[in-house]
Amino acid sequence: MLNRRSLLRGMTAGAAIACGGPANLGVPSLLAGASDSSGGPKRVIFFLQNQGFDPATCIPVGMSGSGSLAKATLPEPIRPLEPFKERLHIISGLHGRHTSPSHSAFFGALGGYRGGDGVPPSAATIDDCVSRALPETLLPHLCIGMDSLENMRTKPTLATLSASGAGQPIFMHSNPNHLHQMLYGGIADGDIRRQHLAQSQVMDRVEQLATTKGHGLPTADQHRYGQYLQGFQESNGLRQRLDAVADRLRTFAPAVDERYTQPQFETDWHDCLLDLGISAVTSGITSTLTIGSGRGEIFGSWKGLGVTEQGHNLGHMEQPDNPIWVKIRQYNSRMLVRIMEALERIPEGSGTMMDHTLIVYTSNNADKQHTSGANWPVMLLGNCGGIFKTGHFTQLDGTRPINALYTSILRAVGQNVDRFNLSESMAKKFDSASGPLREVFV
């Protein structure tokens, strides 16, 4: 467990980075043969857009086989990434047939196993596994989910994408006011500060009461009760850890403005959530961020982009050359640029935070709605000290699953594994090889 002294030491390092000073975060060389002794991801960000990711919207025209992106022009939907294509690796030909995606693979998208609406996770997802492999932070893993204003208000948390184990979903934060208070309530003023203190007192008291009750319940109910109690303990523990280093977080906390309190469109809250996610990463609060645009379901709304259609109907529209999907994908691409630029501004070691970051962009639904999962396009951004290949397009033959990519990421963070969430019998059926996806490495 992290104690207060180690937290302060870690936050001091983060503050030094923010001010341009050196910081030794103690991250070892994570992959044999890395060209940079400080290489390996110190942070990994997953960004999933619902309704599928048609490969025609990310593969440059005329590229049918693997090759360099140097002389290629990125297609319109991801055109905002053109200035950053030397950091980009587009991968087509992974599959997720075993996840049964259809409307969404839900937890299976990051878990690499069969998922479904209302089906609990059967194992930990890749983002949680990465968070446990990376150096310990105040918050091991932050998940944020973007949806329509109505859905984000009525369901400020939702769990459909990430899990810490079988039957252990991880909730996404969708109300930026709640998330800001959780992360930065200890340094806030006025009403936010008063709400933070009041909520802290209530949560502490609830945990105290909960600890002394529940012993007379049936065994099954005791287990469920224990899960609720653990949730209170984890929430209170995080708040206490953040409060202990509150002063050192001031540099990173986004200002609360009218986008938080009086959003005109859902994209106002989307942008606030992204700001909070970026601040959590750059401050060192967390090293693993998962972003669910559409929250892993079939819904979602982008009225702020001038898109009047929303929800399930979007999934039944062809994506290539569709102005609606061009707007949504370009919006995603601009978010990716914001993340990269924020990380690029902060020195780390001999480079910047972006030099030690991997961003994984894909969909929770392979290539489209009602899909077999035969092609699951992915974009990687960042080379992590020379470990990952960038400035490249890779066309695979469709015989390796998304699990192979997840195995590769685990290898990069120091986990010597040959499979991720695939039994031997499943691997024989759905994977043509063993081990990581060699094509993503230099």
pLDDT computed for residue 356 by the predictor: 96
pLDDT computed for residue 18 by the predictor: 34
Tell me what the mean pLDDT of segment 314-338 comes to: 97
323: pLDDT strictly greater than 70: yes
Residue 14: helix, strand or coil by DSSP? helix
pLDDT computed for residue 102 by the predictor: 87
20: pLDDT strictly greater than 90: no
End-to-end CA distance of the chain: 35
The C-alpha atoms of residue 366 and residue 104 are separated, in whole angstroms, by: 8
Confidence band (pLDDT; 50, 70, 90) for 213? low
170: pLDDT strictly greater than 90: yes
**22-49 pLDDT, tens digit each:** 233 232 222 222 233 346 799 999 999 9
Tell me what the mean pLDDT of segment 314-327 comes to: 96
Confidence band (pLDDT; 50, 70, 90) for 246? confident
**131 touches 149 (CB < 8 A):** no
pLDDT computed for residue 3 by the predictor: 38
pLDDT computed for residue 250 by the predictor: 86
C-alpha to C-alpha distances, 240 to 6, 42, 245, nearest whole angstrom: 14, 24, 9
8: pLDDT strictly greater than 50: no
1: pLDDT strictly greater than 60: no
Q: Tell the residue number behind the tokens 């360099």, with chain if given.
A: 68
Q: At what angle do helices 266-282 and 176-184 cross, to 10 degrees?
A: 20
Confidence band (pLDDT; 50, 70, 90) for 55? very high
Confidence band (pLDDT; 50, 70, 90) for 144? very high
pLDDT computed for residue 235 by the predictor: 60
Tell me what the mean pLDDT of segment 74-82 comes to: 98
The predicted model scores a pTM of 0.85
Domains recognised in the chain with CATH numbers: 29-178+263-440 (3.40.720)
